[in-house]
Amino acid sequence: MRVLKAKYLLFVFLSACAFNADIAGVYFSPQGGCEQAIIQQIEQAKTEIKIQAYSFTSEPIAESLLAAHKRGVDVQVILDKSQKTQSYSSYTFFKNQGIPVFIDSAHAIAHNKIIIIDKQIVITGSFNFTKAAEEKNAENLLILKSKELARQYLINWFKHKNHSDSYSGRK
């Protein structure tokens, strides 16, 4: 297990070097601080937060995004179409709070787990923004600081936003 973890960390380091990225954090769950690390980054956001998520049920992360939105940070969310069938989802929460939400229905599953902050921080990994990911699942989370890497993720984010529909609530 230690060999696998060492190989994984070496892969992360080499990938970060390719984009001249600083590794701002590496986290593992369950209960490895992933959720709190995300919240800390959101609390430091100054201008914008772009999110792509398959599943989003973490109340603490949603509340920190709402606080960022209320302090003037441009928060926008792209979520998977599976959320449409839930009676009250994070989609509904964000929309009710005035945060733009988009549904990516162009793919079998929009399985991204990405947060891009201020065009320079990329948060990604297997970690879904859910209570189960923090408390029960074996997940990983990377926080990388790189304008070039963030630029690549933003290009992809806008590509997905362009084929997504604005969420207008459960039908």
Residue 141: name the closest of 165, 115, 160 by CA: 115
Catalytic residue among 81, 84, 118, 161: 118
3-state secondary structure of 47: coil
Backbone angles phi, psi at 134, to 5 degrees: -75, -40
Residue 21: name the closest of 157, 146, 143, 109 by CA: 146
Catalytic residue among 111, 119, 131, 147: 111
Catalytic residue among 50, 113, 145, 160: 113
**Helical (H) or strand (E) element with 37:** helix 34-44
Spatial separation of the C-alpha atoms in residues 139 and 159, rounded to whole Å: 26
Catalytic site includes residue 113: yes
Tokens of 119: 């065009």
Catalytic site includes residue 104: no
Catalytic site includes residue 118: yes
Residues tagged active-site = 111, 113, 118
